[in-house]
Structure 1
């Protein structure tokens, strides 16, 4: 479907994903030697792709693949930056708004939960942008006064167990 729409995909591959680099047999991408401009290999189910290997921040290696055979290394770096921004957004909405924590079964309730989480996250992001502070600082600024107020005047007390 992506090819029919004319879109370009760029994704990471796991080290054990099988490709055919030289039309002589399949091997994991971890064994394929690539240069800075990438190497054209055959990926099962996708056809010919351009495979890039980059050094990961943790010292390991990451394998990126695209079906755009004309994609240069510089364009891949720019697109990987977009991918990182999207991942950072997904991590933030999970961490600070609990989008994955909906314990409901009904589809409508799930949609409502996701929609409200998105709204809350966008408001949080807007506030962080205007105030010039991080998500963590905003979260602490909300939670600390709430905990202090509860400790000063607890609404519910639990009976002692010992």
Structure 2
């Protein structure tokens, strides 16, 4: 690449026929190193997907910066607990989240903290 220096380019073809190109300035990298780096990249992608979809990190409606930071921190903490449960039980993230929500709803229905007064 002009202005960047020498590159090494890898072509990866998936089983489905999708073609992906990887470029690196590490000229000593071989295909096994690229695969290991690809697996690490995929783990980061999974982390972000789970943090957004299972822990609702992007759904903060606060305007104050401190409140947003608190929301993000609690979402990361929830993700850590979810991951621990995921690895301990072997169930998927969505199954684990559904089990936690189901348990919380059942506990609240058995012993609610607030009661709505009846009118009539």
TM-score (norm 1): 0.59
Candidates 78, 92, 97, aligned match of 2:55: 97
Candidates 129, 133, 153, aligned match of 2:91: 133
Q: Give the direction of change, closer, same or farther, for the CA distance of 1:45–1:127 in structure 2 (3 Å limit).
A: farther
Per the TM alignment, residue 69 of structure 1 is displaced from its structure 2 partner at its CA by: 1.2
Higher relative strand content = 1
Q: Give the direction of change, closer, same or farther, for the CA distance of 1:57–1:100 in structure 2 (3 Å limit).
A: farther
Q: Is residue 59 of structure 1 aligned with residue 7 of structure 2?
A: no
Q: Is residue 112 of structure 1 aligned with residue 70 of structure 2?
A: yes
After superposition, give the CA deviation of every residue in 1:36-77 in whole Å (9 maximum; x if it has no partner): xxxxxx1x5633221111113543211111111111111101
Aligned length: 110
Which secondary structure state, in structure 1, belongs to the residue aligned with residue 62 of structure 2? coil
Which secondary structure state, in structure 1, belongs to the residue aligned with residue 11 of structure 2? strand
Any conservation in 1 of the 2:9–2:22 contact (CA below 8 Å)?
Answer: yes
Name the residue aligned to 1:74: 32
Higher relative helix content = 2
Any conservation in 1 of the 2:82–2:97 contact (CA below 8 Å)?
Answer: no
Per the TM alignment, residue 137 of structure 1 is displaced from its structure 2 partner at its CA by: 1.3
Name the CA distance, whole Å, in 2 between partners of 1:135 and 1:48: 42
Gaps of 5+ in 1: 1-41, 157-162
Name the CA distance, whole Å, in 1 between partners of 2:99 and 2:60: 24
After superposition, give the CA deviation of every residue in 1:56-112 in whole Å (9 maximum; x if it has no partner): 354321111111111111110111111111111111111100111112232212211
